[in-house]
Chains A and B, each alone.
Chain A
Amino acid sequence: MAELSETYACVPSTERGRGILISGDPKSDSIVYCNGRSVIIRSLGRPLEASIYGEHAYQATVARFSPNGEWVASADVSGTVRIWGRHGDRVLKNEFRVLSGRIDDLQWSPDGQRIVASGDGKGKSFVRAFMWDSGTNVGEFDGHSRRVLSCAFKPTRPFRIVTCGEDFLVNFYEGPPFKFKLSQREHSNFVNCVRFSPDGNKFITVSSDKKGIIYDAKTGEKMGELPAADGHKGSIYAVSWSPDSKQVLTVSADKTAKVWEIMDDGNGKLNRTLECLGSGGLDDMLVGCLWQNDHLVTVSLGGAINIFSASDPEKTAIKFSGHMKSITSLSCLHQSGQKIILSSSYDGVIVRWLQGVGYVGKLQRKDSPQIKCFAAVEEELLTSGFDNKVWRIPLNEDQCGEAVHVDVGSQPKDLSFAVKFPEVALVSTDSGLAILRGSKLASSIKVGYTVTASAISPDGTEAIVGGQDGKLHIYSIAGDVLTEESVLEKHRGAITVIRYSPDTSMFASADANREAVVWDHITCEVKLKNMLYHTARINCLAWSPDSRMVATGSLDTCVIVYEVDKPASNRVTIKGAHLGGVYGLAFCDENSVISSGEDACVRLWRLIQQ
């Protein structure tokens, strides 16, 4: 049996030039955001617990809790809104096709009966408000000619809806049933976000023209604006009111967040500026914010989430981050007595995680090329991307040293370290193999078959190479010369991964035809077969440190753990480990497996012996 112990969740997916909208539930202190097709709910107090909803068929854009905290309404790029229960089975209450294009913002009415959604209507309606249980329309929303970026519902009676969009307009609707009342054209660029104050007296709009304007909530007339003197120097992407309606938090592309005090006459005064320093550069632009209870949450373009304290300006911010894109590989290292988990994704981001704590940091490299293959030992990393270079990066705790690169002639398909002698590494390309000693190319050979996977033994004397036809070729290495010794035939599909067991007595191989096999190293006899329980290609494989268990992860989203001494039918299956497929696997210790996948999350599972 396996149970989920920790989740290192992904961060919201961001887009340059646009803000993102995150929201939360003050009662349970959770925030909700979207990444890919999943909606992620995270508790601010317990960052290792994240629940993920993956039922959308298209990329999810925004999600909101209902005012009573029981339901979540989430929307995606196809214009569909799904309303589902927050607890338990996530039972679907309703699903409506609201707009014909992507939905950019969604709000519940304060009584939880109506929902207004706005976005890109492709020429037809850009905004729709409907009853949550029946989907019937509650108003006509005309007045916009371009994408409507944000909408808001007045939290007190009389009900009003405000929408704002790319046509620089801020439209004010009265109802229900909602009808157009007036339009404001105070902004000179895209209006990114509009929000009502919790007490229902004012609303504020922020725009890419760096201005923030405050209006009266009942009439829609302009009251005042945020002073330009201390104002933002870049587009303002999002705004959030404090629970007492006296302050607002704004975030901008100039990499700062500002807290303003809003006076009764509608004018604003700068209270403090929050700097969110990261690695510098584009990734620090702030694109989303939320003021919840005492927390000021800001999200940057690179996905870093900073939580400041509203009441205590001196307190340092809690920072955490994660992956935004699919995680392609994972490894577990021992560094200064701790077990560090390194995960890498194809966009070149390498993140360090610590078991029990979560995010520890990102590894910054001088050039950050994309990563396709990744291998790690205690002192070094070996990465390769989509060009012909293999990079060797020395690892110094959490810093990367000077990286050196070697050109191997064509795109590397697989690489591995000889664990006992890390200066020796084997790189396989489409048509050949190369041995690297240090940062030099020691030898390379061309082979007559298409190579799909390779592994070098921990002592560097043997290599196993798998081909497109399912055959395993065993080579011996003597003085950097590779000589083919034998060929093993058992697999019925292209080999995807080969791994030696930590005690080197066995090796395991897996193929694209869902089968994995464990072989004895010396005799090359099959030790465990019939490991056919996956229903799609096997992507990754890992051995437990005591060489007793093998885990396989597949495109079918399952992780299966087999014990080498028992028949394959005594397996432990973890179903639905990662939406979209499992791409990385590692054993942390005898009883914990870490897996990572397409949904950009890393999960730690505890195996319970029965």
Chain B
Amino acid sequence: MSFRMSNASSGMGVADHSKSTFLELKRKKVHRYVIFKIDEKKKEVTVEKTGAPGESYDDFTASLPENDCRYAVYDFDFVTEENCQKSKIFFIAWSPSTSRIRAKMLYATSKDRLKRELDGIHYEIQATDPTEMDLEVLRDRAN
């Protein structure tokens, strides 16, 4: 029997579909990125968009809205100094300063619940404007 762990602050649940999409990204590598949105009516975190493995980082940044918050998971491939191909999963909390305060509050309080469900994230980035989730930032963190 599984019981719902209540989130003390906002009570948003995590949809099963979100968790399974994340596991697909992690294990089968069928997605480059997944973008999550909070559906206030159903009170849960759902999948808004997924990206094909061939898509680039710029496609990913273009899919994030300018004035609203989202959660995203991005599978970052890179080559280390010792010349090995590695891949790390980044969790990005996208909260632009131009978005509404209510949205920022909602996404901030539900973040922990989501992260606990998405087991296997390597790094987390909080971005309040596009410069904070620049590809350079990911490259620096991944080493």
Residues of A within 8 A of B (CB): 492, 530, 532-533, 567-569
Contact = CB atoms under 8 A, between A and B. Distances in A.
Given A530-B131, A532-B129, 9 more contacts: A492-B98, A530-B130, A532-B130, A532-B131, A533-B131, A567-B58, A568-B131, A569-B130, A569-B135
Interface string B64-93: 000000000000000000000000000000
A530 B129 contact: yes
B16 interface: no
B24 interface: no
Q: Which of A492, A533, A568, A569 has the most CB of B within 10 A?
A: A569
Identify the 8 closest CB pairs spanning chains A and B, nearest first.
Answer: A532-B131, A530-B130, A533-B131, A532-B129, A569-B134, A530-B131, A532-B130, A569-B135
Interface in B103-139: 129-131, 134-135
Interface in B18-65: 58
B94 to A, nearest CB: 14
Nearest to B132: A532
A537 to B, nearest CB: 15
Interface of B: 58, 97-98, 129-131, 134-135
Q: Which of A492, A530, A567, A568 has the most CB of B within 10 A?
A: A530
Contacts of A530: 129-131
B66 to A, nearest CB: 9
7 contacts: A530-B130, A530-B131, A532-B129, A532-B131, A567-B58, A568-B130, A569-B134
A80 B64 CA distance: 52
A497 B58 CA distance: 30
Contacts of A569: 130-131, 134-135
Contacts of B135: 569
Contacts of B130: 530, 532, 568-569
A220 B9 CA distance: 82
A558 to B, nearest CB: 13
Contacts of A568: 130-131
Q: Which of B97, B131, B134 has the most CB of A within 10 A?
A: B131
A533 B133 CA distance: 11
Contacts of A532: 129-131
A567 B58 CA distance: 10
A533 B129 CA distance: 10
A569 B129 CA distance: 12
B132 to A, nearest CB: 9
Contacts of A533: 131
Contacts of A492: 97-98
Contacts of B97: 492
A532 B97 CA distance: 12
A568 B130 CA distance: 10
A530 B134 CA distance: 11
Contacts of B134: 569
B100 to A, nearest CB: 15
Contacts of B58: 567
